[in-house]
Amino acid sequence: MNKENQKIWDKHQEYIELLSKVNNSCVFVAELCVSYWFLSDNFQIFGYDPQIIRSPDITSGYLETRIHPDDLIVLGKTQRKLMEYIKTITIDKRKDYKHIYECRAKNAEGNYIRFIVQQQILELDENGNPWLLFGVFDISPNTSPLEHAKVRVINYKTGEIVPFSIVERESDIKLSDREKEILKMASVGMLSKEISDKLFISIHTVNKHRQNIMQKMNTNNVIEAINYARKLGLLD
């Protein structure tokens, strides 16, 4: 963390750490799409390895490994749509909104349970765009089955609930035969080097295909893309 970021973190650290201890929630602070600045030890209730959780990298997809695959797809799409929506709000009000998700994740015993995530923007960048996020994971008191993720956007200053749709036209997703082939290999755990050797193409070409796949499927990482492709039957 550079000096400027450290100064910003010092402003929030005491409150964040106290909150994680007082209410026993799973608390995180993340620099958007870059890295986690803070992850509380309470994430162990979802079965996360404490050694890995203490060295968090937002690009690794580790936190996503225990979230239900269908809900993970919804979360990825919702995050992107939320960022687009935030940009339509005047800069002085962009930090007034709380994003609430109810999803399924495995607990320490490996069983899916309902949990609630509340997120809000801590800091904006120099252009007024979301930069630093604060979030709280809690086990939902509602134990009834959850068929799909639920999303709400609330202005916590006015109490206004913002209508928010995450529906997209899945039929618009078109993968080439090569992209499907690479995605299938990735779905069985093959790395880029293994795929390049198998297909007699360069690693650069493999990674370019992977980037194209994520862009077409509007996903943040290959794990999301694989889960989404399975849902659409693209890996059959």
The structural domains of the chain, with segments of one domain joined by +, span 3-162, 170-232
Give the residue from 43, 53, 1, 37 showing the smallest Cα distance to 20: 43
Is the domain spanning 170-232 CATH 1.10.10.10? The answer is: yes
Q: Side-chain half-sphere of 60: how many Cα atoms within 13 Å?
A: 10
| Ranges in the chain, pLDDT < 50 | 167
Q: Which CATH number fits domain 3-162: 3.40.50.720, 3.40.50.920, 3.30.2290.10, 3.30.450.20?
A: 3.30.450.20
- Residue 105 has what pLDDT? 92
CA 36, 31, 170 angle in degrees (round to 5)?
95
Return the pLDDT at 146.
83
DSSP 8-state assignment for residue 108: T
What's residue 161's pLDDT? Answer: 81
Q: How far apart are CA 188 and CA 108, in angstroms?
A: 24
Specify the pLDDT at position 172.
62
Could you tell me the pTM of the whole model?
0.68
What's the pLDDT at 167? 46
**pLDDT for the residue numbered 112:** 93
Phi, psi of 159 (to 5 degrees): 85, 0
CA distances for 3 relative to 29, 58, 143, angstroms: 17, 20, 44
